[in-house]
Structure 1
Amino acid sequence: MLDVRRLRLLHALSVHGTVTAAAEALHVTSPAVSQQLAALEREAGVTLVEREGRRLTLTRAGQVLVAHTQLVLDQLAAAEADLAGLRARVAGSVRVGAFVTAAARLVPPAVRSLRASYGEAVDVVVHEMEPEESLPALRRGEIDLALVHAYDLMPRDVPPSCEVHELLTEQVYVAMPTDDPLAAREQVELAELADRKWIMPRTDASCHEMAQRACGSAGFVPSPQAYCDDFGVMAGLVDAGLGVALVPALAARRVPEGVLLKPMARPVRRVVSAVLRTRTEAHPAVRVVLERLAAASGGDQ
């Protein structure tokens, strides 16, 4: 019989890459991890890890067992949620991974609503994460709910054994100074902005790829004047006359007076969703957090 606790250690090693990192993630010592992995190998009857230099790596048998372990951990999470759903009281801690704009615009009103209804019984722990970080963290069981976005120009894959709850669909606007020659237009053709300087998201963000694709479909490559993570900072730089930018509606709720938001003639839209591991919505605390996030989103923007 394979020990589930030891399977968790093997899974943690596959995720974090080193015995030390796996031990830190599970709050145990490195020698304990090594000892338990050796015991798991005896239970399995095959070699699960091998040493490469100073690191332990998974053998083919170890990789196969980790894949099965992921299914086991998903089922355990679902079982815990089902059992929690049988309790009358709504209570528990819910870990939410949210990208910056969602953490600023959706999470606070959801938390205020939860506090008004349940006081301290429902504890929301927030981790600021881009979807590229939050979806793997959800799969690993490090968070319970991931707030993610996906542009219609570039759909996002969701990990297996997860389910998607769409919260809102928002339009992406061109942010430009009020004195821009195109400011009087009701809609803007991106091709007309080919000679402008651009405020761009950082290059490793999906928002950067969205901007590149939108401009590329209009026939030009944007000339960046600045790179930054925060859409609020981008709007401030637009207000300063540094360039133009593409800003989703959720991030554009508060822009400086010197900035205009113009729809594009060829619209780009972004869908914001909550992603959960399958059946964890049965957990009462997770369910009410999802409900309050949906209420805070307000649908289309």
Structure 2
Amino acid sequence: MLDVRRLRILQHLAAYGTIAATAEALHLTPPAVSQHLTALRKEAGTPVVERRGRTLRLTPAGELLVAHAEIILAELTAAESALAALHAGRRGIVRIAAFPSAARALVAPLWQRLLDPEAGPAPSLRLSVREPDEALDELRKRAADLALVHSYTVLPRDFPAACEHTLLMEEPVLLALHPRQAAALDLAAGRPADLSRLSDLPWLTPGPETSCYEMIQRACGAAGFVPDVRAHSSDFSVLTTLVAAGAGAALVPRMALPENTADLSLHPLARPISRTVFTVSRAGTGKRPDLRHVLDLLHAPGGLPGTGTPPIR
């Protein structure tokens, strides 16, 4: 019979890639991990890992076991969550990995709500600010309980098979210009903009390692040009400040805009692009009382300020 503990170790090895990293994640010694993998090979009757250079790779049998382990461990997690729910307690720690604008616009007001003494018992939050791919990796490696991630209409996102994702909100991507540049293009504030008319402008974008950068590349490519990028920053507040200084144009999701947009001319796109925000948790953990409480607050209609859609000014 297969040992569930060893299946969990194999699952972690698939995520972390090395025995040393797996041992550290599970608070075991490397020799102990090796012994469990040897025992699992005997239980399975076939090798489950093979060495490739300095790392271990799953064999086809190992990949099959990990796929089943995801289901088995998710069910065990759901059972543990159900038992915790019997105690009707909401205290605990919820670790959130969120992209920067979600951390500012969604997690900050959530934190404030949870600290309200009139709200009763509430979980404690831990936050790590991560780009979506990194947030999902933390979730997969069990370093986070909840990930806030996004996708774009021009850049769909795949989710890990062993996770549950729920749409939280959808927002438009807006063109931000200096008012002088907008006037030169005969674009009144709030008027839809055709990106093909902006091919000669300098552009300000997030770093090439981000999905937001790829979104801008695809949007401009669909408009028939490659953007002339003059500045990179993964902080949209830096980009919008540069736009206000006349340094160039930027595409900015609505939630990433600063509170004061008086120095910007904002425009929806003639060929709209939207950003969709999701909450993602490992399968079975959504029934945990503390995590369920956080999810309910995030998904409550009008529950948090960041999920609103203020008008374009």
TM-score calculated relative to the size of structure 2: 0.88
Residue 96 of structure 1 aligns to a residue whose secondary structure is strand
The reply to whether residue 273 of structure 1 matches residue 282 of structure 2 is no
Q: Give, in angstroms, the shift of residue 118 of structure 1.
A: 5.2
Match of 1:108 in 2: 108
Please say if 1:135 is aligned against 2:136. Answer: yes
Counterpart of 1:290 in structure 2 is: 295
User: Within 1, Cα distance between the matches of 2:3 and 2:229?
Assistant: 54
Residue 92 of structure 1 is matched in structure 2 by 92
Checking the alignment, whether the CA contact within 8 Å between 2:15 and 2:140 is kept in structure 1 is: no
Q: Secondary structure at the match of 2:212?
A: helix
Deviations, residues 67-121 of structure 1 (Å, cap 9, x unaligned): 2212222222222222222222222211211111101111010011012155674
8 Å CA contact 1:236, 1:256 repeated in 2 = no
Q: Give the structure 1 partner of residue 154 of structure 2.
A: 153
Q: Give the deviation of 1:14 after TM superposition.
A: 1.5
Deviation at 1:40, TM superposition (A): 2.1
Q: Displacement, 1:182?
A: 3.2
* Stretches (4+) displaced over 6 A: none
**In 1, Cα distance between the equivalents of 2:59 and 2:187?**
63
* Residue type at the aligned position of 2:185: L
For the aligned residue pairs, the C-alpha RMSD in angstroms reads 2.1
1:228 aligned to 2:233? yes
Distance 1:65 1:262 in 2: 51
Q: Which amino acid aligns with 2:72?
A: V
* Structure 2: distance between partners of 1:214 and 1:53: 40
Deviation at 1:147?
Answer: 0.7
Deviations 1:206-243 (A, max 9, x none): 11121122212222221111122111111122123221
Q: Is the 8 A contact 1:236 1:255 kept in 2?
A: no
Q: Which stretch shifts more, 85-94 or 16-25?
A: 85-94
SS in 1 for 2:165: strand
Note if contact 2:153-2:273 (Cα within 8 Å) is conserved in structure 1. yes
Aligned CA distance change for structure 1 residues 281 and 51 (closer, same or farther; 3 Å):
closer
Which ranges of structure 1 fall in alignment gaps of 5 or more residues? none
Aligned counterparts of 1:252 and 1:155: Cα–Cα separation in 2: 22
Measured against aligned partners, the alpha-carbon deviations of 1:157-200 in whole angstroms (never above 9, x if no partner) come to 22224333222211111111122123742232211111000011
Residue 19 of structure 1: how far off its partner (Å): 0.9
Give the Cα separation in 2 of the matches to 1:46 and 1:264. 56
Counterpart amino acid of residue 217 in structure 1: A
Query: In 1, distance between residues paired with 2:187 and 2:139?
Result: 45
- Name which of 199, 203, 206 aligns with 1:198: 203
Aligned to 1:83: 83
Decide whether aligned partners of structure 1 residues 51 and 150 sit closer, same or farther in structure 2, where only a CA change above 3 A counts: closer
Paired-residue identity, %: 46
- SS, match of residue 106 in structure 1: helix
- Listed as ranges, the gaps of 5+ residues in structure 2 are none
Say whether the 8 Å CA contact 2:74–2:284 is kept in structure 1: no
Aligned positions, number: 301
8 A Cα contact 1:231 1:251, kept in partner: yes
In structure 2, distance between residues paired with 1:287 and 1:48: 36
Residues in 2 aligned to 1:159 and 1:216: alpha-carbon distance in whole angstroms: 29
- C-alpha deviation, 1:29, in angstroms: 1.6
Please report how far the alpha carbon of residue 141 of structure 1 lies from its aligned counterpart in structure 2 after TM superposition: 3.3
Matches within 5 A, 1:33-72: 33-72=33-72
Q: Please, what TM-score do these two structures have when normalized by structure 1?
A: 0.91
Distance 2:275 2:51 in 1: 45
| 1:213 match | 218
Q: Does 1:258 align with 2:263?
A: yes
